[in-house]
Structure 1
Amino acid sequence: MLVYAVDVGTTNLKVVLYDDQLRRLGIASAPAVYARDGARVEFDPEQLFDTVLDLIGQCAANCDDIARHEAVIAITGQAESLVINDQRGTPVRPGMSWLDDRAIAEAAELAERFGTDYAFAVTGQPYPSATWPAAKLRWLERHEPETLASARSVLMIKDDLIRRFTGTTVGEITTRGFTYFWDVSNGMYWHEMLDFCSIPGGSLPEVVPAGTDVGQVSEDVVTRLPGASGYRVNVGALDHFCAMVGTGSYADGIVSESAGTVLSLSLLDHEWTFNPDRKVSFHSGLRPGDTVLFNGVDGGGAALEWFRRHGLADMSYDELEQRLRSREYREPPIFLPYLTGVNPPDYFPDAKGAFLNLDLGHDQIDMAFAVEEGIAHLLRRNVEYLSPEPAHGMVSTGGGAASAFWNQLKADVCGVDVLVPDEHEATCRGAAVLALVASGKLNRLEDANQLHAPATVRYRPSRTEQRQARYRLFADCLRRLYQS
């Protein structure tokens, strides 16, 4: 059995080919293509599907003897991006990326109509956002009523790919909590919100568990794929949750950090109960009864990339790493990484980025250190908020995890072991694991840890009083500047 793991990322589309022992046989990627116009960020669903088919072909091109194997296409990736089709399955309009920010006023309207606390209890999302399909559909009802009038299926991006492969319209449960119209606790659509957003009746897909096999690839699509004895499709799961499986961090007490442009944190929590004062996004997990907590922090790697470009004149990350390692730091500045404004867990509405305690003795490397430390401080605030009980460890993936200096700094600041697997395709590996479990090749998700598991580097914390004092100073600056 072979698994083509398809990752529908925001920046890149990727396909990784695995055998049933999780050996990687091939990999191919291509940039995601968008049409941008101010706050509008749109994509062509048909072009995206064509690209995925092409990447599957590239993966198979250099592999021998694949035609005799059964193949499964397992789909992971982003959640919120929206595709609306007519009765023939043709897109009524371009797809709307989750990056599309046109529905800010509509998001505020949702808050006013339902109240953020009530909506949080239903949807699992602490606050409404223009990101969510609910806000975009409310915008379409107001500005493009003809779009909704002709809609016969309202799908998320993964749903549309599954439909194109199989002709079956289903949604996968771990992505539903990112719609703002799914009742997470009761496992059903939130009908009050559907009515308010004028979502056409019968247009939403049936929802199935993560990792469900949904049947054969349709005959017209099989002709466009590499040879195989048969093709099935597995619905996979949300990219962040698949990455947890791919790194062995889908376990109680282990925080999974995706250190990319957005700092994303996930935690499996079997003891979770709803608390309206604990503003953490909660979602259905990969198994019945699982709850996964999730926080997305915009002020993560984006802040370091901003400073690298504008404060370091595009210095390479390798050179920055070398220069950060080559000096001792006595009293560097404090940096508040709130360049994008509101960030969990504090949600200060007036927050901005800031350097504090600067003097004439500081240079650009001191400031770069402050940026990395400031993001580590924000990471600690989120880890402690996400997991009131001390975490057993933190598994870090993504571009930021390539920096040994930063990994050690995060361990020191957060006071937990930081584990960095040598696995750059954790999301695809996790999707392949779900497919292998569904096929019976593996009994449990945890069994994948015995199959070609990636080597891991462990960074152990050193919690000195100086480090603790720096964190207290960061928290005090944040409170004095932005806490109302």
Structure 2
Amino acid sequence: MGGTQIQAHEAAGRCIAVLDVGTTAVKACLFSPSLELLACSVQEYALRTQGERVEADAAQYKAAARAGLADALSQAPGCIPAAVSITTQGETLTLADRSGEPLRPFLVWLDSRAENEAQALRSVLDNETFYKTTGLPEVTGALPLAKLLWLRKHEPDTFVRAHKLLLLEDYLLHWLTGRFVSEKSLQTSTGWFDLHSDGLWHSGLAAAGASAELLPELLECGAPAGSLLPGPAAELGLPPNIPVVAGAMDQTAAALAAGCTRPGTVTETTGTALVMAACTDAPMFRSGHHVTVYRHALPGKYLYLPIGNTAGMALRWFRDEFCRDLPAGAAGYAALDALVQSVPCGCDGLAFLPFLSGSVDPDACPEARAAFFGARLSTTRAHFARSVMESVAFLLRDFFGMLNALGCPADTVYSLGGGARSAVWQQIKADACGRTFRVPACSEATAMGAALLAGWGSGLIAPGVFPCRGESAVYLPDNARAPAYDTAYSLYKKLYAAVKPLYNAF
């Protein structure tokens, strides 16, 4: 937890403030109108977990935002925010009263308690129709549509008192502006957004016993959401009445910042989850395995999004549970990198399945669980750490295959998220996938995408103009390692096929 001082060539003068609200931390960032990162502060918080339930309190998000912006502003003296935007995780939601106050804790996107409700919805919503309408592969217990039905059935008193059902960005926008508004890239994660009409899917809402009146007004990404109210302005240390601009969901904002706005450019984000994004003007909704399709922040464009639920989270889990002697934060991850470098590619036959919270792609299997295989007396902690990193690279290899089957080129690949900071992990990805991976110069691509939208919406950046982007590192594949990785990938695939029948055995 804390701030990162940025060399601020443009620290004095107007800037754009962004709140990037992730699963376990808020990043408060300040950008110049040319999108130079002036300051960044990371404020972590803990989630409450019990079985398949994962919740967070609204007060945690607000407290992290306050602390983060105070820290960021202290890093860039003379910087005066002239606009603010928000980007958040998708799917996390709550019920709120007429004043916008939550009536219960947030159900975090990882929460999958609504499986019974998902099954009920699947019985009335044809799966192919659902996919071709929403772009989402299927109705699961983690889907907001299923959670909406769960809230209506299991917390009827709260549901009756609710004025709005709000996603996390919606809640924060109301806090800042007093308006109940949302944006379309965020709503595409819910199961009640129709990609073809570019609006709400009323049949889906009706299946869950709800109507459009329960939801906020939908805005375009980058549209003004309102003016910053004096109360939250004082709390956050920002000037009152500056424009608050609707952002985009985190993966979409990152793709926008990295230039994933045309076919051929692909991003992979190794954050809490692993998400690949590939732009398309005309998505294909194939039968069989369904690849997630999201609405882009840019109207008329869409993103294919192969997803793995746990990537960076798998490494953090390993660090927290098995490496408690290592230092916290970046130093701990650097120590893990050093361990991983001591082990050859392929981990001497050790393999890991990274499904700590089910599998989405390339095989939809919500009941999937993680597993290590191949340990011997000579296997060390370093082998286990490397096998976690390699498993994420093998997921990426699967994702490239999925895009290829859709006829979607991956000519240029940009790496985003915390995982992109690890040179060791980046080289593993390049070698295992046989591709070149590029890391953008700005390490905070998600916040940068929201800042770009804020700049367009406030007039600080001319609409449609993309300030120049650079690269901080390029990782080329080492072809000499390809045979070892082919063998390790084959073991990984065979292990999943062998273990999958056991997932429903208990």
Could you say which residue in structure 2 is the equivalent of 1:401? 420
Write the letter of the residue equivalent to 2:21: V
Unaligned runs of 5+ in 1: none
For the 8 Å contact 1:391–1:416, the answer to whether it is kept is no
Could you say which residue in structure 2 is the equivalent of 1:106? 117
Residue 73 of structure 1: how far off its partner (Å)? 0.9
For the 8 Å contact 2:89–2:249, the answer to whether it is kept is yes
Residue aligned with 1:138, SS: helix
Write the letter of the residue equivalent to 1:321: D
Write the letter of the residue equivalent to 2:26: L
Write the letter of the residue equivalent to 2:394: H
Write the letter of the residue equivalent to 1:383: F
Could you say which residue in structure 2 is the equivalent of 1:182? 193
Matched, 1:275 2:276: no
- Choose which of 256, 260, 263 in structure 2 pairs with 1:252: 263
* Structure 1 residues 306 and 439: alpha-carbon distance in aligned structure 2, compared to 1, 3 A threshold: closer
Distance, in Å, in 2 between the alignment partners of 1:273 and 1:111 is 22
Write the letter of the residue equivalent to 1:279: H
For the 8 Å contact 1:308–1:314, the answer to whether it is kept is no
Distance, in Å, in 2 between the alignment partners of 1:240 and 1:171 is 16
- The aligned runs of 1:62-461 (5 Å cut-off) are 63-66=76-79, 71-199=82-210, 202-226=213-237, 228=239, 230-308=241-319, 316-326=332-342, 328=344, 331-348=348-365, 351-359=368-376, 362-388=379-405, 389-443=408-462, 447-448=466-467, 450=468, 453-461=469-477
Residue 352 of structure 1: how far off its partner (Å)? 4.2
- Encode CA deviations 1:376-421: one digit per residue, 9 max, x unaligned: 1122001221343441132112232232222112112212111123
Distance, in Å, in 2 between the alignment partners of 1:256 and 1:159 is 26
Residue 80 of structure 1: how far off its partner (Å)? 1.3
Distance, in Å, in 1 between the alignment partners of 2:208 and 2:176 is 29
Comparing 204-213 with 296-305, which one deviates more in the overlay?
296-305
Matched, 1:467 2:480: no
For the 8 Å contact 1:350–1:482, the answer to whether it is kept is no
- The aligned runs of 1:21-40 (5 Å cut-off) are 21-32=34-45, 34-40=47-53
Distance, in Å, in 2 between the alignment partners of 1:312 and 1:62 is 32
* Structure 1 residues 196 and 212: alpha-carbon distance in aligned structure 2, compared to 1, 3 A threshold: same
Write the letter of the residue equivalent to 1:400: G
For the 8 Å contact 2:233–2:240, the answer to whether it is kept is no
Instruction: Give the structure-2-normalised TM-score.
Output: 0.85
Write the letter of the residue equivalent to 1:163: H
Residue aligned with 1:7, SS: strand
- Encode CA deviations 1:107-164: one digit per residue, 9 max, x unaligned: 2222222133322222211122232221122112111212221222221111121122
Distance, in Å, in 1 between the alignment partners of 2:135 and 2:473 is 34
Write the letter of the residue equivalent to 1:26: A
Residue 271 of structure 1: how far off its partner (Å)? 4.1
Residue aligned with 2:300, SS: coil
Distance, in Å, in 1 between the alignment partners of 2:133 and 2:241 is 41
Distance, in Å, in 2 between the alignment partners of 1:15 and 1:437 is 19
* Structure 1 residues 285 and 227: alpha-carbon distance in aligned structure 2, compared to 1, 3 A threshold: closer
- Encode CA deviations 1:16-35: one digit per residue, 9 max, x unaligned: 12221223333333223555
Write the letter of the residue equivalent to 1:447: F
* Structure 1 residues 461 and 163: alpha-carbon distance in aligned structure 2, compared to 1, 3 A threshold: same
Residue 480 of structure 1: how far off its partner (Å)? 4.8
Write the letter of the residue equivalent to 1:174: S
Write the letter of the residue equivalent to 2:166: L
For the 8 Å contact 1:85–1:92, the answer to whether it is kept is yes
Residue aligned with 2:226, SS: strand
For the 8 Å contact 1:253–1:387, the answer to whether it is kept is no
* Structure 1 residues 234 and 412: alpha-carbon distance in aligned structure 2, compared to 1, 3 A threshold: same
Distance, in Å, in 2 between the alignment partners of 1:22 and 1:434 is 11
Distance, in Å, in 1 between the alignment partners of 2:222 and 2:119 is 34
For the 8 Å contact 2:163–2:214, the answer to whether it is kept is yes
Residue 283 of structure 1: how far off its partner (Å)? 1.2
Write the letter of the residue equivalent to 1:382: F
Could you say which residue in structure 2 is the equivalent of 1:14? 27
For the 8 Å contact 2:28–2:42, the answer to whether it is kept is yes
Could you say which residue in structure 1 is the equivalent of 2:11? none
- Encode CA deviations 1:331-354: one digit per residue, 9 max, x unaligned: 533333334443411225664444
Could you say which residue in structure 1 is the equivalent of 2:15? 2
- Encode CA deviations 1:279-338: one digit per residue, 9 max, x unaligned: 111111011110011132124234344444556665543344234334545853333333
Distance, in Å, in 1 between the alignment partners of 2:385 and 2:47 is 32
Residue 51 of structure 1: how far off its partner (Å)? 4.5
Distance, in Å, in 2 between the alignment partners of 1:272 and 1:63 is 42
Residue 174 of structure 1: how far off its partner (Å)? 0.3
Residue aligned with 1:114, SS: coil
Residue aligned with 2:466, SS: helix
Distance, in Å, in 2 between the alignment partners of 1:30 and 1:458 is 29
The percent of aligned pairs where both chains have the same amino acid is 30
* Structure 1 residues 195 and 441: alpha-carbon distance in aligned structure 2, compared to 1, 3 A threshold: same
* Structure 1 residues 465 and 175: alpha-carbon distance in aligned structure 2, compared to 1, 3 A threshold: same
For the 8 Å contact 2:65–2:236, the answer to whether it is kept is no
For the 8 Å contact 2:83–2:458, the answer to whether it is kept is no
* Structure 1 residues 209 and 196: alpha-carbon distance in aligned structure 2, compared to 1, 3 A threshold: same
Comparing 113-122 with 360-369, which one deviates more in the overlay?
360-369
* Structure 1 residues 75 and 126: alpha-carbon distance in aligned structure 2, compared to 1, 3 A threshold: same
